[in-house]
Amino acid sequence: VEFTKVAADPSIVNLGQGLPDISPPSYVKEELAKAAAVDRLNQYTRGFGHPSLVKALSQVYERVCGRKIDPLTDILVTVGAYGSLFSTIQALIEEGDEVIIIEPFYDCYEPMVKMAGAKPVFIPLRYKHDGNSASSADWVLDPAELENKFNSKTKAIILNTPNNPIGKVFTREELQVIADLCIKHDTLCISDEVYEWMVYKGNKHIKIATLPGMWERTITIGSAGKTYSVTGWKLGWSIGPPNLIKHLQVVHQNTLYTCPTPLQEALAQAFWIDFKRMDDPDCYFYSLSRELESKRDRMAQLLQEAGLKPVIPDGGYFMIVDVSTLNVDLSDVDEKQPYDYKFVKWMIRSKKLSAIPLSAFCGPETKRQFEKYIRFCFIKKDSTLDAAEVILKNWNKQMA
Amino acid sequence: PIATSETFKLPFSLQAKMSRPVQARRLEGVDKNIWVEFVKLAATYSKVNLGQGFPDFPPPDFLKEAFVRALSGENHMLHQYTRAFGHPPLVKILAQFFGKLLGRDLDPMTNVMVTVGAYQALFCCFQAFIEEGDEVIIIEPFFDCYESMTKMAGGTPVFVPLRPKTPKDGKLMSSEDWKLDPAELASKFSERTKAIVLNSPNNPLGKVFSRGELELIADLCVKHDVLCISDEVYEWLVYDGKEHIRIASLPGMWDRTVIIGSAGKTFSATGWKVGWTMGPNRLLQHLRNVHQNSVYHCATIAQEAVAQGFQRELELYGKADSYFIQLPRELQQKRDWLVQSLDAVGMKPIIPEGTYFLVADISKFKSDIPDVPDSDEPYDSRFAKWMVKNKGLAAIPLSAFYSGAHKSIYNHFIRFCFAKEEATLKAANDILQKWKQEKTSP
């Protein structure tokens, strides 16, 4: 909330908040216009999810997961993936529980766990190489350290793959380590997979729920906003076994009851269009990913040329950058904030470029470890990246 | 040592099962929901659906056009996140519009918050203000979520009934005849009372609380330092020249009241799920806290369209073309039509002063559905289920709007929604007429 206010200024090139400034595909907008023209679709629909939408979701995910998914009992439609996280945590987490959160993490996990009365237990991704960290794959969990975080109070672990902010795409082996611990300790897994379609060459998005023994204990969360570049539609979904989903449905019926109808209908139609071409490279799920990959590469190059060290993400639309190499002296800034917060504020003021400080994504113990990084969002139109390029090219000139 | 599946000796089926109880205790007692059941029944059996409260006519053209303009316009950023606490054009116009009505300067950023329907506004209020040890006074009959939301927040609901006084011979009862007993109401306030929920115009009865009745409630709120959650979603649907009075405008009340409103009810677009809260910053700041940790943003496009709707209504306020004048006029006619229809067949309607609901006494039709003594289910619920399955007419039993202990007190009433096209109301009439004929002929 803090940083979105600053970046609302139009003179600033906004690579901070994670929202596209590209247009959603035209057929998505057309489907919404069509839906809004139908009288019945301007009134309440089924609380747990508009029938045509849950049907479409079940088809798409049956194909991806290779298992039968019942649209009425295995799916809940929510107000964004954010709403799914909230429903899941309110349904399944309470006082006395511990929830493992992998750092750096999307910042809402911690307050949501606390609001449910539970204790967040943090474990950081650790950078495994000395020297130049080139890739998000270089950030890994220490299996022994992870094992130590599990105990009899551990109710759930929150997994986010592809990860925001680093862009790490967890490998099958890494997921197996987590899965084994979940099964051993009889723990739930809350898997935030909103960036599931944004994986780049050489990487594959694997759903932890498809690993043996995991379907029964996993809630998988997805997002229309990220899938179709319509963050303002605020539609998401939770998929899992009926004995878990039913509790999310109880939360939902006591919090907002139904999600907007015309948006759900339009989303259903968009999903049918892309479901039919899931074998075709033109499917939006793949074409968006290709488009983003070239933006990623361009962003990385610009940053490197400016003397910054980007961590190339394997997935997602964020890139973290080590800014310590610039040696910007901010010691005169008389604030107790971490370095990255001060850096971003300085960068917004003096360079008219915004990003998000990485310590926003950490628990209290790890802020020092991540305070030399900032996060850029690259799902931006060419003119935005052009404007960023101008700033980055001139960066060194001004520094000299 | 790294845990691997090879180290397990247990059979796979035992390994895989999530064996301990999973759900949080806050879900206890809030899992049942009448709507899930009755909406399903209506979807399966009804030919004429006067059950769930939504119009079967479309939103006004000006609103639909605003929606299409927003989604297809040059500014495609309307498909992306907007301000979390409310799209700026919407909160600005709401502050302006309601500021006028309340006679107060409202700051759009701190005195208004947009929510996913009035339902989510209610949720934010209960989560923000109620916790274990708190009591919440709920006036019966009530929109059912007040009770479950109080419980989910850990609070204790305390019920106080509206009591009907028998009308003069031959006259039909009015929602006005259902009143609070002042002494009884006062007795419900204790030092544990955190809030009272007021719903005026009231769902399901249609009662529009009078100034005197609101002053009674206000005095007690001030005396006991209690918050007022004021659900005013039907604020424009008042009939027979009655006035909707906002309790927040009474002395001492602005500072302790959260007003809840709904675009769905205001503009006949329930499927858009746009609602709002208004009140002093000292209360709204806590709603913002809950909101940003539960939903965060509300969908942008509908907010943009609703903002334009309100802009139009601000310009036409009090004029004949105002939707806020035309809609209640149309609905009053439909109300009168349904009242006549029900009265003609022997169902005794209670004439509502507001909302688009009316409650009718079905005692004369009891012979069709015999009473089952010692049944768990209230009679009116069994009646409503039988009626939708056998007559194709959907309505909601009044017991749905009462707390568990009181469900059998008023068990011969059902609620009809009359926000329906003429054709729908006529079809309902046909079903009722046919049913009556079947009763009278051998």
CB atoms within 10 A of CB B441: 6
CATH of the domain at A85: 3.40.640.10
Kindly report which listed range (A362-366, B385-389, B423-427) carries the lowest average pLDDT score: A362-366
Residue bearing tokens 């330092």: B225
SS (HEC) of chain A? CHHHHHCCCCCCEECCCCCCCCCCCHHHHHHHHHHHCCHHHHCCCCCCCCHHHHHHHHHHHHHHHCCCCCCCCCEEEECHHHHHHHHHHHHHCCCCCEEEEEECCCCCHHHHHHHCCCEEEEEECEECCCCCCCEHHHEECCHHHHHHHCCCCEEEEEEECCCCCCCCCCCHHHHHHHHHHHHHCCCEEEEECCCCCCECCCCCCCCHHHCCCCHHHEEEEEEHHHHCCCHHHCCEEEECCHHHHHHHHHHHHCCCCCCCHHHHHHHHHHHHHHHHCCCCCCCHHHHHHHHHHHHHHHHHHHHHHCCCEEEECCECCEEEEECHHHCCCCCCCCCCCCHHHHHHHHHHHHHCEECEEHHHHCCHHHHHHHCCEEEEECCCCHHHHHHHHHHHHHHHHHHC
How many distinct helices (H) and strands (E) make up chain B?
14, 15
Q: Which residues of B touch A81 (CB under 8 A)?
A: none
Please determine, for residue B251, whether its predicted confidence score (pLDDT) is greater than 90.
yes
Q: Which of B247, B262, B187 lies closest to B217 in space, CA to CA?
A: B247
Residue A225 is assigned to a structural domain of this protein? yes
Residue A5 is predicted with a pLDDT of 61
Copy the structure tokens of residue B261: 């409103």
Binary contact (A244, B117; C-beta < 8 A): no
Mutate to test the interface with B, among A27, A43, A99, A214 (most CBs of B within 10 A): A43
Strand-strand pairing, B275-278 and B257-262: antiparallel
Residue A4 is predicted with a pLDDT of 60
Q: Which residues have C-beta within 8 Å of that of residue A281, sequence separation ≥ 6?
A: A287
Residue bearing tokens 């209640």: B328
Please determine, for residue A115, whether its predicted confidence score (pLDDT) is greater than 60.
yes
Please determine, for residue A400, whether its predicted confidence score (pLDDT) is greater than 60.
no
Kindly report which listed range (B304-313, B331-340, B400-409) carries the lowest average pLDDT score: B400-409
Residue A37 is assigned to a structural domain of this protein? yes
Residue bearing tokens 């997979």: A193
Give the whole-angstrom CA distance, residue B342 versus residue B119: 31
Binary contact (B299, A263; C-beta < 8 A): yes
In the stretch 26-45 of chain B, residues with CB closer than 8 A to chain A read 26-27, 30-31, 33, 35-36, 39
Give the whole-angstrom CA distance, residue B216 versus residue A184: 60
For B113-136, what is the mean pLDDT?
98
The band of A130, judged by pLDDT with boundaries at 50, 70 and 90, is: low
Residue B8 is predicted with a pLDDT of 41
From residue B191, give the alpha-carbon distance in Å to each of A290, B138, B151, B187, B220.
63, 16, 19, 11, 12
Q: Do the Cβ atoms of A248 and B26 come closer than 8 Å?
A: no
Binary contact (B23, A92; C-beta < 8 A): yes
> Any CB–CB contact under 8 A between B289 and chain A?
no
Q: A171 and A260, same structural domain?
A: yes
Q: A36 and A52, same structural domain?
A: yes
Q: Using the 3D structure, point to which of A276, A293, A327 is the last residue of a domain.
A: A276
Q: A366 and A228, same structural domain?
A: no
Q: Which residues of B touch A108 (CB under 8 A)?
A: 293, 296
Q: How many domains does chain A have?
A: 2
For A261-287, what is the mean pLDDT?
97
Residue B33 is predicted with a pLDDT of 85
For B13-40, what is the mean pLDDT?
79
Residues forming a β-bridge with B258: B229
CB atoms within 10 A of CB A111: 14
The band of B162, judged by pLDDT with boundaries at 50, 70 and 90, is: very high
Q: Do the Cβ atoms of B111 and B287 come closer than 8 Å?
A: no
Q: A334 and A260, same structural domain?
A: no
SS3 state at B137? strand
Q: A49 and A19, same structural domain?
A: no
For A270-277, what is the mean pLDDT?
98
> What is the distance in angstroms between the Cα of A396 and the nearest Cα belonging to chain B?
33
Q: Using the 3D structure, point to which of A219, A244, A276 is the last residue of a domain.
A: A276
Residue A398 is predicted with a pLDDT of 57
% of chain A at pLDDT higher than 70: 95
Q: A219 and A340, same structural domain?
A: no
Q: What is the ipTM of this complex?
A: 0.94
Q: Do the Cβ atoms of B145 and B119 come closer than 8 Å?
A: yes
Binary contact (B145, A257; C-beta < 8 A): yes
The band of B81, judged by pLDDT with boundaries at 50, 70 and 90, is: very high
Q: Which domain holds residue A71?
A: 26-276
The band of A369, judged by pLDDT with boundaries at 50, 70 and 90, is: confident
Give the whole-angstrom CA distance, residue A33 versus residue B65: 10
Q: Which member of A94, A254, A258 has the closest CB to residue B148?
A: A254
In the stretch 147-176 of chain B, residues with CB closer than 8 A to chain A read 148-149, 152
Task: Name the closest residue on chain B to residue A26, using Cα atoms.
Answer: B72
Helix A26-36 × helix B61-72 angle, to 10°: 180
Q: Which of B400, B410, B299 lies closest to B350 in space, CA to CA?
A: B410
Residue bearing tokens 């809004």: A36
Identity at A230, one-letter amino acid code = V
For the purposes of burial, counting CB atoms within 10 Å of the CB of B290, is it exposed (0-12), middle (13-18) or buried (19 or more)? buried
Give the whole-angstrom CA distance, residue A53 versus residue B436: 41
> What is the distance in angstroms between the Cα of A210 and the nearest Cα belonging to chain B?
12
Residue B4 is predicted with a pLDDT of 40
Residue A367 is predicted with a pLDDT of 84
Q: Which option is the CATH number for B61-316: 3.40.190.170, 3.40.640.10, 3.40.50.800, 3.40.605.10? A: 3.40.640.10
Binary contact (B296, A45; C-beta < 8 A): no
pLDDT digits (tens, 9 = 90+) for B101-122: 999 999 999 999 999 999 999 9
Identity at B329, one-letter amino acid code = R
Residue A399 is assigned to a structural domain of this protein? no
Q: A110 and A132, same structural domain?
A: yes
Task: Give the start-to-end residue ranges of the domains of chain B.
Answer: 31-59+322-440, 61-316
Binary contact (A216, B18; C-beta < 8 A): yes
For B350-367, what is the mean pLDDT?
95
Strand-strand pairing, B257-262 and B348-350: unpaired
Q: A191 and A117, same structural domain?
A: yes
DSSP B1: -
Q: Which residues of A touch B268 (CB under 8 A)?
A: 42
% of chain A at pLDDT higher than 90: 82
Q: Which residues of A touch B149 (CB under 8 A)?
A: 254
Residue bearing tokens 């999973």: B22
CATH number for the region B31-59+322-440 comes to 3.90.1150.10
Q: Which member of A21, A44, A254 has the closest CB to residue B77?
A: A21
**Which alpha helices (H) appear in B317-421, and where do they start and end?**
323-345, 379-391
Give the whole-angstrom CA distance, residue B85 versus residue B112: 8
Task: Name the closest residue on chain B to residue A97, using Cα atoms.
Answer: B24
Binary contact (B12, A213; C-beta < 8 A): yes
Mutate to test the interface with B, among A255, A259, A267, A381 (most CBs of B within 10 A): A255
Residue A380 is predicted with a pLDDT of 95
Residue B18 is predicted with a pLDDT of 65
Kindly report which listed range (A94-103, A310-319, B2-11) carries the lowest average pLDDT score: B2-11
Q: A296 and A252, same structural domain?
A: no
Sign of CA pseudo-dihedral A38, B274, A114, A196: positive
Binary contact (A147, B2; C-beta < 8 A): yes
Please determine, for residue A343, whether its predicted confidence score (pLDDT) is greater than 50.
yes
Sign of CA pseudo-dihedral A184, A190, A196, A201: negative
